[in-house]
Amino acid sequence: GESVGLHLPTLSVQEGDNSIINCAYSNSASDYFIWYKQESGKGPQFIIDIRSNMDKRQGQRVTVLLNKTVKHLSLQIAATQPGDSAVYFCAENMGDSWGKLQFGAGTQVVVTP
């Protein structure tokens, strides 16, 4: 079936650098996307979301870009900090209006000093 997937399972970033996490989706009917951060032993934490009528949205140190033409989603983290080390998931709605989510496998971000 259609699914959300991530290109890189692990991303190593030097502290202070910018991080870019990529995500490919295949459900063309999806119109709502969310990025979550999950630290070890915790539940997913909401970072930022974007709807399909937008191609860019900014939060605090984070930016999400949506390219519907190639079905690609990315999360940019500015000035990556040690506290940003976690697994990052992109999720898409499952084609209905209730926001039931379909998650990718996740990308492990490791911030090195």
Partner 1 sequence: ETGVTQSPTHLIKTRGQQVTLRCSSQSGHNTVSWYQQALGQGPQFIFQYYREEENGRGNFPPRFSGLQFPNYSSELNVNALELDDSALYLCASSWGLAGGSQETQYFGPGTRLLVL
63 C-beta neighbours (distance < 10 Å), count: 17
Distance CA 34, CA 98 (A): 14
Q: Which of 21, 66, 86, 101 binds partner 1 (CB under 8 A)?
A: 101
The smaller minimum CB distance to partner 1, of residues 44 and 77, is found at: 44
Tell me how far, at minimum, the Cβ of 58 lies from partner 1, in Å: 17
Residue list 19-48, contact with partner 1 (CB under 8 A): 31-32, 34, 36, 41-46
The smaller minimum CB distance to partner 1, of residues 41 and 113, is found at: 41
The smaller minimum CB distance to partner 1, of residues 98 and 113, is found at: 98
Tell me how far, at minimum, the Cβ of 14 lies from partner 1, in Å: 25
Q: Would you tell me which residues interact with partner 1 (CB under 8 A)?
A: 4, 31-32, 34, 36, 41-46, 49, 51, 89, 91, 93-94, 96-106
